[in-house]
């Protein structure tokens, strides 16, 4: 009997809802809610346009529903405001939402991700790279979103002339309309999240992959979730410690690894180390020629003579260069909200510098930029560097782009290294280059490199002549190639000066690219598929056409990693995929010091296959590249097989590494474990 009464009650409620829906006066509602509807529609257009210009999610209705629901909920509070003051409310919210769209559009151009509230404290970094922001990041399309508040001003102007606010105020009680609108939006929100899968909800909460969140939940919902994550992160040291500790203990109990000896074990024991942090250097430049001239002859030589890891990836997030430094030195991963160098510099880490200090090494870093950039002064001290030679320690006598030229930086650094070598038995130094930083300034004064294309043509009489096509001239990629050629030349001069001073006799060069150059897919397509005769791209059906899609672009982000010694010609290429977190374990084996027990990476020499986990949840093996945003993958060779079990296993492994690294950083879990 009780069950029957419940059913009757449900059907009566549904019947009442249906009758209200059927008898609803849509015309009256529309005519008295013009500003409200204009606010919703115009901001929805902005969010949809942003998604189409970035993640290109054309057909999924879910993010549209999420954005509409958010706009209805936020807009409903205007019913509690009298007359013309409603416009001030709608306009203020619109300015905020428009700023969100502009910032995220520009941010995506450079990082292929979306911005975060947690990055607000890194805005001071932009002052040193303002040219990069204006030249390479901001596009004309980023400003199309500004039409929304302009449109709203126009609507307000028309409505004001027609006395709309006076008429609309008399139609219905504001509080009643507010409660109905809020109730409607809450119902849609509940239904929306109920229909999400557990995987989608998990990814939404953890927010490793911001592209996924925006493509499934809309940009406004993403930003609300990001605000929550940012606030939660600032309070997280007070909440959730037990769960973080449990995650930490479980991970390292299940991932114990014994050190295995190999042919390079202790090979460089007792040698000095110079780490060259090669700004924006990518592997595709190596062994490539333009008009018969090598782009990176120095890197080519070092790679041929030393150990060259040809499938090495940097694993950076929004912290770019600072993320590379952090991951290389600690074998941990960047965090999913903010940057370690800025937000979590005051934590305790077990680093390369600290491990070598136990062996009597003196450690230093050199970078001819401001010491406060990326908070390096504080963070380098926390990592265990004994000294940081920054801009104030150099004579800024030769400026290219952002600061001191690489040539002058290296020349002055040799003098400092020479003095260190006299005083210290062993040392490890990190030299961070600067010139090859976007937006890739003109370096023709120092070295000429032609990025046009020379080809054979025929004149009007049919006689063969030499011709030149513009090709990569006046493009970002062309500027990057010129700048990289200069950086390679400066590196050659540096090594030559080190040799003259006798420093190379007991020193090993370890060079790594810190991250890719953020060159667009369209420019790579031009590089690979240019037809100089027609001055256009080859047709996609042309047999010589090289496809450059999302996966090709992602795989092309790899950067060089090589180990070179003047007196040891190893001449070995390692093609196993490798991440920045594999550097510390690899160097520990070669230089004979204890590896960090908290390292996420592995000694690359011992591996035939490896998993490289990226901060956005993507991962890479020798056979598969997995895109966590779309939950799809690409097979990298004809013999690869990707079973559902393999995909799930590797995805869980990548997520567990991201989670334990996040726990270590946020909750300072090494505080009582690192002396």
Three-class DSSP labels, 586-632: HHHHHHCCCCCCCCCCCCHHHCCCCCEECCCCCEECCCEEEECCCCE
Distance of CA 368 to the CA centre of its chain: 24
- For residue 12, what pLDDT is reported? 55
Give the residue among 406, 391, 371, 168 at the shortest CA–CA distance from 276: 406
* Angle subtended at Cα 191 by Cα 185 and Cα 194, rounded to the nearest 5 degrees: 140
Q: Which two tokens stand for residue 214?
A: 């925006």
- For residue 604, what pLDDT is reported? 96
- For residue 142, what pLDDT is reported? 78
Q: Is the peptide bond before 439 cis (omega within 30 degrees of 0)?
A: yes
Q: Give the predicted TM-score (pTM) of the model.
A: 0.83
**Is 247-666 CATH 3.30.1130.10?**
no
Q: Which two tokens stand for residue 374?
A: 């990326």
Could you give the CA distance from residue 30 to residue 9 in angstroms, rounded to a whole number? 32
* 514 HSE (CA, 13 A, CB side): 25
* 309 HSE (CA, 13 A, CB side): 29
Q: Which sequence spans correspond to the domains of the chain?
A: 27-235, 247-666
pLDDT along the chain (675 residues), means of 10: 52 53 57 87 94 82 93 91 87 94 84 72 54 57 89 91 72 72 88 87 78 89 84 66 93 90 96 98 97 97 98 94 97 90 93 96 96 92 97 95 94 98 97 93 86 88 87 94 97 98 97 95 95 92 93 96 95 97 98 96 93 95 93 88 91 96 95 85
- Buried b / exposed e over 522-535, threshold 16 CB at 10 Å, is ebbbbbebbebeee
Could you give the CA distance from residue 403 to residue 398 in angstroms, rounded to a whole number? 8
Q: Which two tokens stand for residue 496?
A: 């030559």
């Amino acid at each position: 009997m009780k069950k029957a009464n419940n059913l009757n009650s449900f059907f009566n409620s549904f019947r009442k809802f249906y009758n209200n829906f059927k008898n609803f006066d849509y015309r009256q509602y529309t005519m008295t809610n013009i500003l409200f509807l204009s606010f919703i529609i115009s901001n929805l257009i902005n969010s949809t346009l942003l998604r189409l210009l970035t993640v290109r999610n054309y057909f999924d209705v879910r993010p549209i529903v999420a954005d509409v629901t958010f706009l209805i909920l936020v807009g409903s509070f205007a019913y509690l405001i009298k007359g013309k003051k409603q416009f001030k409310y709608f306009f203020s919210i619109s300015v905020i939402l428009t700023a969100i769209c502009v910032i995220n559009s520009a941010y995506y151009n450079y990082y292929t991700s979306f911005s975060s509230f947690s990055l607000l404290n890194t805005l001071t970094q932009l002052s040193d790279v303002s040219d990069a922001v204006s030249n390479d990041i901001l596009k004309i399309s980023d400003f199309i979103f500004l039409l929304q508040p302009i449109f709203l001003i126009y609507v307000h102007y028309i409505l004001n002339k027609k006395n709309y606010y006076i008429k609309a105020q008399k139609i219905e009680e504001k509080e009643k309309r507010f409660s109905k609108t809020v109730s409607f939006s809450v119902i849609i929100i509940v239904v929306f999240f109920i229909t999400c899968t557990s995987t989608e909800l998990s990814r939404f909460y953890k927010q490793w992959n911001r592209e996924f969140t925006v493509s499934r939940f809309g940009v406004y919902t993403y930003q609300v979730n990001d605000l929550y994550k940012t606030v939660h992160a600032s309070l997280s040291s007070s909440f959730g410690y037990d769960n973080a500790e449990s995650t930490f203990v479980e991970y390292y109990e299940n991932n114990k690894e014994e050190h295995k000896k190999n042919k390079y074990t202790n090979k460089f024991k007792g040698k000095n180390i110079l780490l060259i942090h090669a700004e924006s250097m990518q592997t595709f430049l190596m062994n490539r020629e333009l008009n018969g001239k090598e782009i990176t002859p120095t890197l080519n030589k070092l790679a041929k003579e030393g150990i060259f890891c040809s499938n090495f990836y940097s694993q950076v997030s929004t912290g770019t260069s600072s993320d590379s430094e952090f991951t290389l030195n600690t074998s941990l991963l960047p965090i999913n909200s903010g940057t370690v160098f800025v937000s979590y510099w005051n934590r305790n880490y077990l680093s390369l510098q600290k491990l070598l200090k136990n062996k009597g090494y003196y450690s230093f870093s050199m970078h001819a930029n401001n010491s406060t950039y990326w908070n390096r002064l504080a963070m380098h001290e926390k990592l265990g560097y004994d000294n940081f030679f920054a801009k104030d320690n150099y004579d800024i006598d030769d400026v290219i782009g952002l600061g001191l030229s690489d040539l002058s930086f290296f020349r002055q650094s040799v003098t400092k290294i020479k003095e260190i070598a006299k005083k210290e038995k062993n040392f490890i130094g990190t030299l961070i280059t600067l010139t090859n930083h976007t937006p890739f300034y003109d370096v023709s004064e120092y070295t000429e490199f032609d990025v046009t294309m020379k080809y054979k043509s025929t004149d009007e009489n049919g006689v063969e002549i030499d011709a030149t096509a513009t090709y990569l001239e006046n493009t970002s990629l062309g500027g990057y190639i010129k700048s990289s050629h200069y950086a390679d030349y400066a590196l050659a001069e540096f090594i030559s000066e080190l040799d003259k001073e006798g420093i190379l006799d007991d020193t090993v060069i370890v060079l790594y690219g810190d991250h890719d150059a953020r060159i667009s897919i369209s420019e790579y397509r031009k590089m690979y598929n240019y037809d100089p005769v027609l001055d256009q791209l080859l047709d996609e059906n042309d047999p010589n056409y090289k496809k450059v899609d999302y996966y090709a672009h992602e795989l092309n982000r790899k950067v060089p990693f090589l180990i070179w010694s003047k007196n040891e010609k190893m001449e070995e290429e390692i093609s196993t995929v490798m991440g920045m977190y594999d550097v510390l374990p690899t160097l520990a084996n070669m230089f004979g010091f204890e590896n960090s027990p908290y390292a996420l990476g592995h000694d690359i020499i011992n591996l035939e296959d490896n998993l490289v986990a990226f901060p956005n949840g993507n991962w890479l093996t020798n056979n598969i590249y997995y895109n966590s945003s779309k939950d799809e993958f690409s097979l990298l060779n004809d013999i690869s097989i990707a079973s559902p079990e393999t995909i799930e296993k590797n995805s869980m492994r990548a997520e567990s590494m991201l989670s334990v690294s996040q726990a270590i950083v946020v909750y300072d879990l090494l505080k009582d474990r690192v002396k």
